[in-house]
Amino acid sequence: MKQSEIKELSTAELQEKLSETKKSYSDLKMAHAISPLENPIQLRAVRRSVARIATELTKREIQ
């Protein structure tokens, strides 16, 4: 997910998206531990999406 897309979402949508993305990341990690993923770069992309969403939420809390 791009930063521009994240900025357009409301805070409630961001919190929902964060929980979905974290679940997706844990599922990918588990699948990768059992058998290697076809595209292990997915892990990095999802982890960075989690970080982007969390950063935007924190930024909104501060303001």
In 3D, which of 60, 41, 37, 39 has the Cα closest to residue 49? 41
% of the chain with per-residue pLDDT over 70: 100
Distance CA(11)–CA(61), nearest Å, equals: 9
| Cα distances (Å, whole numbers) of residue 23 to 4, 33, 61 | 22, 15, 23
Mean pLDDT throughout 39-43?
A: 95
H or E element, residue 44: helix 41-62
pTM, two decimal places: 0.91
pLDDT bracket for residue 28 (50, 70, 90): very high
| Res 43: pLDDT | 96
Does the structure show a pLDDT above 90 at 1? no
pLDDT bracket for residue 63 (50, 70, 90): confident
Distance CA(55)–CA(59), nearest Å, equals: 6
| Res 32: pLDDT | 95
